[in-house]
Chain A
């Protein structure tokens, strides 16, 4: 897959982040951007005809293990950040009774 396609995934996430009216949809958009970043890094580390980065007798060309190790970090941190954001979202819902950005502003949020 071309790395440019992963840029499109990131941009879809950015578009969703700037247009969504719901907090949960904003959290989802951040997750989509993160998936785009993960795909981009895995793409860049992939070599032509390379096998998985595990040493066996037959392995001569392998995919670069460094981006894969970095992306484990991204996945773990991304999942925890999503969990934290959703927990805050639950708290906002308990406090204001809604998860729409405009409705929260109208009910006196952000002051």
Chain B
């Protein structure tokens, strides 16, 4: 009881610290939003300003975000290594216990989800979405496959290898701007000489690569969990 009261006192102290630190943040965001609204489209060729930040202004951040995803996937594979390498590892999903209605409905929804995910990825520079969000949707669509066909085997090693090469491709494409513009990690096409339509080619290519990488990463994580939880 005393310990609990002490804890609540500590949390209240933290709350007051938060409260007083908030007083300085009143003007946060007003200037940067105006800057992105004025210059975002011309400088990056992306209508969606979040994509313009993710794939142009702060591409360095996004690269290592994708890198952390790769590292986490590798860590999960390594932790659950012994179980996955066993032969005849059976999946947790039992085909005979899954309701028929669910299986039928999954078959119906699966292509729609896949198409929606690809739409989100490819249209990431115009409408809400992008590589990371669309990749998550595609991964969810792939996971539904396990309900349709419970005996489906997944070659995890191959998926992780593809993911590594995709990450290297993303790094190479992001660095290509050094040869065309003289700076690392920005759009290949110079905004002064190319129009926004040409610039968006780069955004689409990078969005597709990031989307596939995220989808493969999440697929690997899910498969590792399925094989672990026998």
Contact of A66 with B54 in the complex, beta carbons under 8 Å: no
Shortest distance from the beta carbon of B48 to any chain A beta carbon, whole Å: 5
Contact of B14 with A65 in the complex, beta carbons under 8 Å: no
Residues in B whose Cβ lies below 8 Å from that of A54: 47-49, 126-128
Q: How many Å lie between the Cα of A86 and that of B75 in the bound state?
A: 12
Contact of A4 with B29 in the complex, beta carbons under 8 Å: no
- Chain A positions 43 through 79: 1 when the CB is less than 8 Å from some CB of chain B, otherwise 0: 0111100101111100101111111111011011100
Asked whether any CB of chain A lies closer than 8 Å to the CB of B202, the reply is: no
Residues in B whose Cβ lies below 8 Å from that of A83: 72, 76, 221, 225
Asked whether any CB of chain A lies closer than 8 Å to the CB of B73, the reply is: yes
Contact of B47 with A72 in the complex, beta carbons under 8 Å: no
Q: How many residues of B contact A (CB 8 A)?
A: 51
Q: Which residue on chain A has the smallest CB distance to residue B21?
A: A7
Q: How many Å lie between the Cα of A55 and that of B196 in the bound state?
A: 13
Contact of B15 with A47 in the complex, beta carbons under 8 Å: no
Say whether, besides A11-B14, A55-B49, A80-B72, A87 and B128 are in contact (CB < 8 Å).
no
Residues in A whose Cβ lies below 8 Å from that of B132: 72, 75-76
